[in-house]
Structures are given as structure tokens and as C-alpha cells.
Structure 1
Amino acid sequence: MDECCDPRVPCGFDDVFGTRFAAKLARRYRRHGLTDSERRVTDRISALGVDGRSVLEIGGGIGAMQLALLARGAASAVNLELSDAYEGKAAELIRQAGVESAAMRIVGIDLAVPGHDIAPADFVILHRVVCCYPDFTNLLGAAAAHARLAIVFTYPSPSWVTRALVRLENAWMAMRGSRYRGFIHSPEAMIDVLRRSGMVVSDHDRVGNWNVAVALRAPIGSAATTSTA
């Protein structure tokens, strides 16, 4: 999917997230497991009660967090991906984990674009995704519409350093002829989208340069208390 005539749709994914990038992620995962930010996301979902629940991840790459959540008791995990570059490595990891019946991968469907038939899930994950997507309003709105219980999403710190780095990266991509661009969206605006969708941001902390936010459809046990770290 590469509908670059529409400024709301991400472009040039294959320029950045290709097979070499997928192989690099798979090697790192096999050697070291989840990254710190991935571990924080899975811990947040596990704390809400993942046993027997369904998970929908948008842009999950090789599927490392889905494998972790299935190992922790999730009943099913679905990954939506715009680039097909991850599929070979993801399939290997799924086979090795023995979760072929519980893990599903779908390529070419953008959740933010109407016309698909993606079922809701108990938990929706967007890790390192909103920074790659121009239209965060429709993306997060669609994620909220598909989350029965909660969304966990991450976004880069909107500091001047991060903004400068993204501008440099975008300039480099333009010089190379790539249509891919990164984005630093307003945290307040993103959270407001979820609030207007009937969700409550109940937890918000930081791992390295990544902010991790948890938005609940309704209080789940004692998890509805608000905290900021």
C-alpha cells in the first residue's frame, strides 16, 4: 500500500522498513529479547490482565511483543502491517514459538483508512507507529474504535533535540529520493483524540526517548488510577 497522493497516508515505508531492517530486528530479538520500550508496553498490558484476551498490534514489525503476550497467556494476536518486508522473519519466529494457531498477520490494510474488515480486540498496541504516520487523528481514532479495553501507544519525546533529529532525518530522506517522513505530533493533541473517543489516559511514563501511554475504555480493576512518571 503506497497511496502517496493522499497526504494523510504514510509513504515510502519500504525505503526504511525493508528486509534488511527486518533481519536486523530479528537478530537482535533472538540475542537479547524485547527492547526496554517493548518490555514496558507488554508489562503495561500484562498488568491489565492479558490472560485469555485478544491483542491487535498496528505496525508490529517482526511481532516480538505479540509473541511475548501470547507467552503470557493472551488467546490471540493479530498484526497489521503496511510493509511486507517483515513477513519472512515474523513467520520464522511464529513457527519457532509454536503459536501458528494464535498469531495472525495481515499485510496491506491501513486501519485508519475506511473499508477494511478488522475485528476489534481487547488490547490495541501502537509502538513507534504514530511518529511514522501523518494523520494521527484518524489513526488513533481507529485504534480506539477497535479497542474493547485499552490502548497502549508510544511516541517520541517532543523535545527540541528530537525535533531537530527528525528534521535532519527527513532532509536526508528527501535527498535520497525517499518519500518516507517522520513526525513529532503533539502529545496533548493525541491524548485528546483518545479522550474524545471515550477513553481515559490512566498511565503515562517514559523509557529512554519513548513515552508510553495507556488509555482505558473503562476502569479495569484498580488500573484506572492516574499516574505520571
Structure 2
Amino acid sequence: MLRGIVFCCAHDQAAAAVFSRLAFWYRQRYRWLGLERTQRQLVAGLAKVGYRDARLLEIGCGVGWLHQWLLRHGAAFAVGVDLSPRMLAEAEALARAYGLEGRVRYLAGDFLGLADRIEAADIVLFDKVICCYPDAAALLRQAIAKAERAVALIYPRRHRLNRLLHGALNRLLAWMGSDFHTYLHDPAAVERLFLEQGWEKRFEAKTVSWLSQVFVQVKASRTRRG
């Protein structure tokens, strides 16, 4: 497994610090409870476009549960990128436990800084990640450039309850002296970005707080339907 560390700014470092403190508990949560409802929704969406034998790229992979689940159920290989080295240490431990060491590679740092070192993938995954990134458009454009089949993402819905919750969380983080901040990006703007890049939405599901979507290239989608 290859690992490098690339942080672009204070926000990256602050995010890495926050999530490093949660790494052990994330691993234990998935070990005992498995996929979250939103992740099960995303897997259902990915089944519609097909992930068997797919090469995966998960940006903000955390402890690796989502892409490792897909590897155990038919995907071929995965690259995981995360700001937190401790998250990646937990992901590596999980990969060893499931016998996946030869089918996964991890990189620590900001995806935008690492993109030139990462090969294209069939499917790019974002599981509750763009809400942790100030420039979602730049992140998504680079992800689209790396995706050959689909981009699948989970991110917060934009409504009053989430505004209140994220506002409270950000005030708490500021009070704790952290530079980390969460963001509620406009789903309409996210979808418009994909449409402008020649992609279409193939799947969408919702919970009270979260939106799960899968986008595919229009040309590739029409070829498969034909």
C-alpha cells in the first residue's frame, strides 16, 4: 500500500485532526453495525450501473468500509484517499482483516493535491465528503475527470433542519478553536455541474438529512442501454 501526505491549507489540517480523533470509533461502529442506511442506498444505486470488476476511487474514504464492502461483493480494486492518516491506519487494518491488502491502495492528503498521482477509475465515491470541503465544484470536476463510468455521492440535503444542525456544529468547532468547517452545498448546483460536464443522474434516494445520488456519463449510459 502506497501512502503520501499532502495538505493544502489549515482547513485540511484541521479536518485531519478532527477525524483522526474519531477513527477508532468509526471502525468499531462499522464493525458492529455494518453499512449505514445512506450507504445501503448508494450501493443499491451502484447496482443499477454495475460495480462488478470495477476499479474504485473513494475520496474521503475514512476507515474504508464502503469501498471494502464493494470489493468483497465483486469490485476489483480500490484506491482510498483521506486527509487523516489515522483513518487510513484503521482502513489498512480492516483490509488486512478481510484479506484485501493486494486489492487496495491508500493515500493520505487532499485529493486535489494528489490527483496527478492517481489513475482513472470506473467509479468514484464520495461518502459524506463534499460537505467537508469548501470548494465542492473544484473537487467534483477533478473527480469527474477521473471517473470512467460513474460518480456516486452522499451529501447533506439543504433544508432548515440541516442549516440549524450545521450552524450549531460549526459554532461548536469554532469555540473549540478548530479551523474545520462543514458546508451545505446546493444540490441543484451539484446536479447542474454534472449536466454541464455531460453526465446525467441515474439514481437518487433520500433520508431526512442526506441525499444519495449516482451520476453516469450520458454517452456511456446510452451505449449500455442500446
- TM, length-normalised to structure 2: 0.90
Aligned residues: 218
Q: Deviations 1:150-187 (Å, cap 9, x if unpaired)?
A: 01111111111111211111111111110000000111
- Matched-pair identity in %: 30
Q: Distance in 1 between matches of 2:131 and 2:74?
A: 29
Structure 2 contact 7–113 (Cα < 8 Å) conserved: no
Partner residue in 2 for 1:17: 19
Between Structure 1 and Structure 2, the one with more helix by share is 2
Q: Deviations 1:86-117 (Å, cap 9, x if unpaired)?
A: 12211111011001111111112x23347622
> What code does the residue aligned with 1:35 have?
E
Unaligned runs of 5+ in 2: 1-5
Partner residue in 2 for 1:138: 138
Partner residue in 2 for 1:219: 221
Aligned-residue RMSD, C-alpha: 1.9
> What code does the residue aligned with 1:3 have?
C
Q: Distance in 2 between matches of 1:115 and 1:25?
A: 26
Partner residue in 1 for 2:195: 195
Structure 1 contact 22–86 (Cα < 8 Å) conserved: yes
Structure 1 residue ranges (4+ consecutive) displaced by more than 6 angstroms after TM superposition: none
Structure with the larger RCO, 1 or 2 (CA within 8 Å, 6+ apart)? 2
Q: Distance in 2 between matches of 1:216 and 1:129?
A: 19
Within the candidate set 1, 6, 9, 1:4 is matched to 9
> What code does the residue aligned with 2:146 have?
H
Partner residue in 1 for 2:162: 162
> What code does the residue aligned with 1:47 have?
K
Q: Spell out the pairing of 1:1-229 with structure 2 (5 A cutoff).
A: 1-4=6-9, 10-18=12-20, 20-108=21-109, 110-113=110-113, 116-217=116-217, 218-219=220-221, 221-222=224-225
Q: What SS does structure 2 have at the residue aligned with 1:51?
A: coil
> What code does the residue aligned with 2:84 have?
S
Structure 2 contact 8–113 (Cα < 8 Å) conserved: no
User: Cα distance, 1:2 vs. partner?
Assistant: 3.9
- TM, length-normalised to structure 1: 0.89
Q: Distance in 2 between matches of 1:41 and 1:30?
A: 19
Q: What SS does structure 2 have at the residue aligned with 1:79?
A: strand
Q: Deviations 1:175-228 (Å, cap 9, x if unpaired)?
A: 111000000011111111111222111222213411011110131745x9xxxx
